[in-house]
Amino acid sequence: MTAAPPAGAGTAESGGGTPRRRAVGALLGVALVALLADLVTKQWALTALTGRPPLGLLDGTVYLTLTRNSGAAWSIGSGHTWVFPLITLGVIGWIAWMAARLRSVPWAVSLGLVLGGALGNLTDRIFRAPGHFVGHVVDMISLFDPYGQVWPVFNLADSSLVCGVLLAVLLELTGRQRDGRRAGAEPAGAAESGDGAPTGSEQRGRA
């Protein structure tokens, strides 16, 4: 007579896709919000800040000033603008590969922030002047210095990227895995077999 499978044995398998769907949904949702926020603020900056002096906020802690950047932070690599879209496409491909094994919502938020920020700046590189894949990124936020001499002028896409990377570092330091487990934790099946449940030899000994 065949032994009946343990209760709940098929539950994890049949519902195994649920954590992944939840994580991928969170990734895409966060990325979409970050992208839309970046596009809206850039359009506002082009409309409201063009031709205006820096606008100080929070007693001069933050300045809004419109700039167009052909490179990275502090205009690094401004003579090789075409390289940045290629790097961004590589990052997007890596995130898509990670999504196939993603089960953790915190990791989904981290990757979503990176994806949204990458897409925001990639949109500028592709569609803005002076041409496709060499477009200049619209920046408008400066900390402490309205001319960006100490702090680079940045945008919400840059902020999203930085926040996503910092969150990823925090998750790594705290042992959170992308599949939803913690580093060093035993798989659920191993924990159940070794935590009070009698093994086959113990059952035979008791008989």
Q: Which of 199, 159, 158, 179 is nearest to 19 (CA)?
A: 179
Residue whose pair of structure tokens reads 């191993």 in the numeric block: 190
In angstroms, rounded to a whole number, what is the distance separating the alpha carbons of residues 165 and 169?
A: 6
The 10s digit of each residue's pLDDT in 102-119 is 999 999 999 999 999 999
Least confident span in 140-144, 147-151, 155-159: 147-151
In angstroms, rounded to a whole number, what is the distance separating the alpha carbons of residues 140 and 142?
A: 7
* pTM metric for this prediction: 0.79
Least confident span in 114-118, 141-145, 191-195: 191-195
Is the confidence at residue 69, as pLDDT, over 60?
A: yes
- The CA-based diameter of the chain, rounded to the nearest angstrom, is 89
Alpha helices in the chain (DSSP H): 11-14, 17-48, 83-99, 105-127, 156-173, 188-193, 200-206
What is the SS3 assignment for 143? strand
pLDDT score of 76? 67
pLDDT score of 82? 82
Q: Residue 66: pLDDT band by 50, 70, 90 thresholds?
A: very high
Q: pLDDT over 70 for what percent of the chain?
A: 76
Higher-scoring residue by pLDDT: 27, 152:
27
Extract the tokens encoding 64. 């809004």
Instruction: Classify residue 102 as exposed, middle or buried by CB count within 10 Å of its CB (0-12, 13-18, 19+).
Output: buried
What is the SS3 assignment for 40? helix
Q: Where are the domains of the chain?
A: 20-178
Catalogue the active-site residues.
Answer: 139, 158
